[in-house]
Amino acid sequence: MGKPAKPSPAAPPPRPAPSKTVHSALLTYASMLSLLSLCPPFVILLWYTMVHADGSVVGTYQHLRDHGLLEGLRSIWPMPTVVAGKIILGFALFEAALQLLLPGKRFEGPVSPSGNVPVYKANGLQAYAVTLATYLSLWWFGIFNPAIVYDHLGEIFSTLVFGSFVFCILLYIKGHVAPSSSDSGSSGNAIIDFYWGMELYPRIGKHFDIKVFTNCRFGMMSWAVLAVTYCIKQYEMNGRVADSMLVNTALMLIYITKFYWWESGYWCTMDIAHDRAGFYICWGCLVWVPSIYTSPGMYLVNHPVNLGPQLALSILLAGILCIYINYDCDRQRQEFRRTNGKCLVWGKAPTKIVASYQTTNGETKTSLLLTSGWWGLTRHFHYVPEILSAFFWTVPALFDHFLPYFYVIFLTILLLDRAKRDDDRCSSKYGKYWKTYCNKVPYRVIPGIY
């Protein structure tokens, strides 16, 4: 791996202008205060409800009502422990070592706003295979019991809540004193800088990309590891794994496998190529992903629903179909970009719009906007099968409780917001070309509706 290319040393790092690609300052303040004040206790309350309150939101509410909000929350909030710290640190160091040491192809990301080209080592699929093989081997040979992770889950989430906040403070300081590239700078507002981030591509040394670690290797990998953990815990509790848990775990692992198969494509998306490394994205990947994204499986540990072969297989196949469509959307666009539009889309030459734009250092570049295939249906059609995939790995829980479906609701809101932010960014970047694109592909996410 190499360093991102740098512009001329004579050019100082650009000071970002107010951007149309993020929310207003007022909404940023509201979002930040919400994340800081509501999301950490929500992570703990969700864990408590799933593990200790039989999945009942009403049960948790009654506990807080009977004890008072603050005292009730304090009584259920586990403190960070040495055991939790060792589990998190061991996992983080293992994933960091795999990121650095495993072989992988060189991959160049999209040109940054400052004209830099970030370079990555694409070894996520190998790291994923090694992680799962190692974790299952430790369990199989009696070296480490994954049930310990489940038994200390509250302490682990609590440690992540506080530890990730400290991590984000360090990222903020690094952005001020030791930025990794010219794709860094201050908005002039410390709150916005902390929340949205200072650096687009923060690195430690030449080869360790921090956002790849937080988003892909810690966040996504912990999702897979916890999915397996919940399955093993149910087996140890009941001597068998219910078909509902098998469907949930299988679909999650298939989805995550798809992610790592396509990881280099993810490096071209908004999360990596446009969102800076701040509290919004890094705290989310380090805390929200392992807790919220895995919550349907967390619920199923103590609620082994028996679906029956026919229903279980139907849900599994429907989920796999949605995951495949989600993958094919991304594959279609990636192939279009890789071949500079010289490929077939659904058996035909693709239709496209040639759009020009300027980087922050004044250089004029062009992009091709795909307007056929999946991308001719809506501008963000790939979010539809992604939301449906989440529904199908949640629906094995059936409908006795509402909370397992929180992730599906959250994901829907997240992706609709992301679609709007991406449209705003593209409108600012491409101007009249984006208007032409929107006229040709008028719907944002759902064909004929939105």
Identify the residue whose tokens are 């950490």.
Answer: 40
Q: What is the CA radius of gyration of the chain?
A: 22
Handedness of CA 330, 271, 339, 126 (dihedral sign): negative
**Eight-class DSSP state of 348:** B
The closest alpha carbon to 370, from 342, 404, 405, belongs to 342
Helices (H) and strands (E) in the chain, counts: 20, 6
CA distance 259 to 325: 13
pLDDT of the chain, 450 residues: tens digit per residue? 344 443 333 333 334 433 443 556 677 677 778 777 889 999 999 999 999 999 999 999 999 999 999 999 999 999 999 999 999 999 999 999 999 999 999 999 888 888 889 999 999 999 999 999 999 999 999 999 999 999 999 999 999 999 999 999 999 999 999 999 888 888 888 888 898 899 999 999 888 999 999 999 999 999 999 999 999 999 999 999 999 999 999 999 999 999 999 898 889 888 888 889 998 899 999 999 999 999 999 999 999 999 999 999 999 999 999 999 999 998 998 889 889 888 989 988 999 898 888 776 777 888 889 999 999 999 999 999 999 999 999 999 999 899 999 999 999 999 998 899 889 888 888 889 899 989 999 999 999 888
CA-angle at 303, arms to 162 and 45, nearest 5° = 25
Structure confidence at residue 13 (pLDDT): 39
Query: Would you call 229 helix, strand, or coil by DSSP?
Result: helix
HSE-up (13 A, CA, CB side) for residue 237? 18
- Looking at residue 25, its pLDDT comes to 65
Cα–Cα distance measured from residue 188 to residue 19, given in angstroms and rounded to the nearest whole number: 13
Helices 39-52 and 69-76: crossing angle, nearest 10°? 60
Tokens of 220: 């996504």
Both tokens of 69, joined, read 């909000």
Query: Rounded to an integer, what distance in angstroms lies between the CA atom of residue 327 and that of residue 77?
Result: 39
Q: What pLDDT sits at residue 9?
A: 37
φ, ψ at 24 (rounded to 5°)? -65, 165
Nearest to 44 by CA among 149, 151, 160: 160
pLDDT value for 136:
97
Whole-prediction pTM = 0.87
Tokens encoding 24: 């207003």
Number of other residues whose CB lies within 10 A of the CB of residue 163: 18
Q: Which of 62, 57, 55 is nearest to 398 (CA)?
A: 55
**pLDDT at site 24:** 62
Contacts with 216 (C-beta within 8 Å, 6 or more apart), sequence order? 124, 259, 260, 263, 266
- Which residue ranges make up each domain of the chain? 47-77, 80-306, 309-450
